Amino acid sequence: MNVISFRPGVLSAAVAAGFVIAMPSAQAANAVTFKPWGDDAGNAPSLNVGDVLSVTKGGVGASNYSDNPSLLNAAWAHSGGSPWYTFFLTAEADVSISLTPTDGAGTLFNPGMTVWASGDTKFNGGTADFDDIAMNGWNSPHSFNVVGQIGDAGTLWSTGANGNQLETLAYAVTGESHAAADNGWGETIQTGFHDVSVSNTFEQGITGSASGNSILMQFSSMQSGWYTIFFGGTNHDLTAVSYDLSVAAVAAVPEPEAYAMLLAGLAMVGAIARRRRG
């Protein structure tokens, strides 16, 4: 559902900028909907340990993630073919999410990507929020905060009474950075990879890279549950292209601290056994 509201004086500017305007309708869930994965996996597949989900998405917008001056560099939920994806991780695993250009598309595009967690329940798509208004007058999620933590301005369409997202885990940008004063939601958008999680509820650490035209995120001990991915362009001067999104899950590797505790426990058991033999 593409529901848009405007502050006074913004409508004419929006028309001049070439936006397609949809008249407001009743608020409901599914403000955004999920695209299907490849290989007939559907739009809400389960991801088992050892499995891979992948899809090739064409027509990704040059600046639907950030760097669109008409949106004060904020994200546009319904542009670029609305590249929203979700999956249910069936068991704890180390998960890698990669975004790479298809052949011949790499030099024409700078992608950005964000991952959220919604726990035991699939994200319901959120609800247009007419009280959550960006500085340029657009309501969320037509314009939304793609890098902020859940609860920040520009995310209210996806949480609380409007939706069931619980935490923003990480984002990555290969285009330019934007200061808070230049962003429609007052959020700083920084080039590179960024772990913005605020707890260890959904994972035990996130690493990644974002350079040139590719993004990689690696989630250590990602917990079973539902996760949401949104990606798009971060350079308004470049061209919409086709991209490959891939999510892979492998058995979680214990952290070094866990190994240390295991070794300490084994040493203690050995010492007790030796004392008993003595």
Phi, psi angles (nearest 5°) of residue 16: -65, -30
Domains of the chain, by residue range, sit at 10-277
Phi, psi angles (nearest 5°) of residue 210: -150, 105
Indicate the burial class of 277 (C-beta count within 10 angstroms; 0-12, 13-18, 19 or more).
exposed
From CA 240, how far away is CA 222, in angstroms rounded? 32
Taking the whole predicted model, whether its pTM rises above 0.85 is answered as no
Q: pLDDT means per 10 residues in the chain (278 residues)?
A: 38 36 48 97 98 94 94 91 96 98 75 98 94 89 96 96 98 97 95 98 98 95 99 90 94 69 54 52
From CA 150, how far away is CA 219, in angstroms rounded? 19
Q: 58-69: string of b/e by CB count within 10 Å (b at 16+)?
A: eebbbbbbbbbe
From CA 155, how far away is CA 145, in angstroms rounded? 6
From CA 184, how far away is CA 71, in angstroms rounded? 6
The correct answer on CATH 3.40.50.280 for the domain covering 10-277 is: no
Least Cα distance to 132 among 230, 4, 28 occurs for 4
Residue written as tokens 């035991």?
A: 120
Least Cα distance to 124 among 198, 37, 57, 27 occurs for 27
Amino acid 264: pLDDT: 59
Amino acid 103: pLDDT: 72
E strands, 33-157, are: 46-47, 52-60, 75-76, 84-89, 93-101, 111-119, 129-133, 139-140, 143-144
Q: Are 29 and 159 in contact (CB under 8 A)?
A: no
